[in-house]
Each structure stands twice: as C-alpha cells, then as structure tokens.
Amino acid sequence: MSLRTPSSWAAYWKQLRSVLLDPHVDEAALRESLREARSRMPVPVLWLLGKTQAGKTSIIRALTGSEAAVIGNGFQPCTRSSRIFDFPTEAPIVQFLDTRGLGERAYDPDEDVRFCESRAHLLVVVMKVADAEQQEVFDVLHAVRRRHPDWPLLIVHTALHELYPP
C-alpha cells in the first residue's frame, strides 16, 4: 500500500484503529504457541529443604492450594518421601519439590539429597526463626552449594508467631 495518496492514509489509519481498538486474538494459535514454548523450556523446580516441622509443606500448600500437600500436626513428621507439586496443575510454570525433614531420627538424607539435586534449579531453605540448632541444614546446604554454586538460594524464616506471648 502506498502512503502517498489521501485514500491510502485513510485506509492505513482505519486498519491501525481497528488493530488498536478492536484487537482479535487467535486463541488456538496462542495456546499452541504457549504449548510449544513450554515444551522447549524446562519447568523450574524449587527444592524446599529444612528440618522436620519447619513449614516446607505448609508453604507449598499456601502457594499452590493443593490439598495433596498434607501438613503435619506439629508433633510428628508428615512428609515421608520427596514429592513434586506442579503449579498450576494444568500447565505448570513452576514445580515445588517437597522433601522429608532433616534431623529425623534414623533418617539418612544422603540418597534424598542426591535425588533432589538431580531435579532442582533453586534452593528454598526453610527454618523456624526460633530454632537455633540448624547444623543438619547447614551441613547439607554447604555441600549442595559447593556442587552448585550458581543455584539461587532463598532462605525463609517461619513460625515467628511462636515468639509472641499467648
């Protein structure tokens, strides 16, 4: 289209106005494009690491709304093995890797740590703010960071409410 004649300008502005004020999105093409993009990009896995009852599963349940993220009663551990939670479930853009709590009696986390390291892209270390004894967490964290110094790390402190008087 030549923009030298007035009728060409009128057609140009009419087309521009139509695109800007009444856009049409091909929903099927958009869904297909998003599906293709997702298939090329890995879904990031956030590994939640911490002691038993630190709040790892509670965080996952709050973020995903998943009823499958069963929360313990505060006295005994609930997560018995690692589990992936997709968010959103239908077309995940992120996955949360929930893990068994460090510091459980008769639990050696080495095998679970190796599994989680093979899946994760980011570490989320969950610690109760009033729990000063975090050596098990630090030991695993230092070992993982030596092997994966480029991984982002997020430290989340939980249970602040336990420090307030009743």
What are the pLDDT digits (tens) for 46-89?
A: 999 999 889 999 999 999 887 766 666 555 555 566 889 999 88
Contacts by 61-68 with C-beta closer than 8 Å and gap 24+?
Answer: 63/87, 63/96, 64/88, 64/89, 64/96
CA distances from 34 to 27, 28, 41, 62 (A): 11, 10, 11, 26
Percent of the chain at pLDDT exceeding 90: 45
Q: Both tokens of residue 68? A: 């499958």
Residue 8 is predicted with a pLDDT of 75
pLDDT band with cut points at 50, 70 and 90 for residue 147: very high
Q: Reply yes or no on whether the pLDDT at 37 is more than 80.
A: no
Report the pLDDT averaged over residues 3-25.
Answer: 75
Residue 106 is predicted with a pLDDT of 81
Any idea which of 45-49, 100-104, 113-117, 141-145 has the lowest mean pLDDT? Answer: 100-104
pTM of the model: 0.71
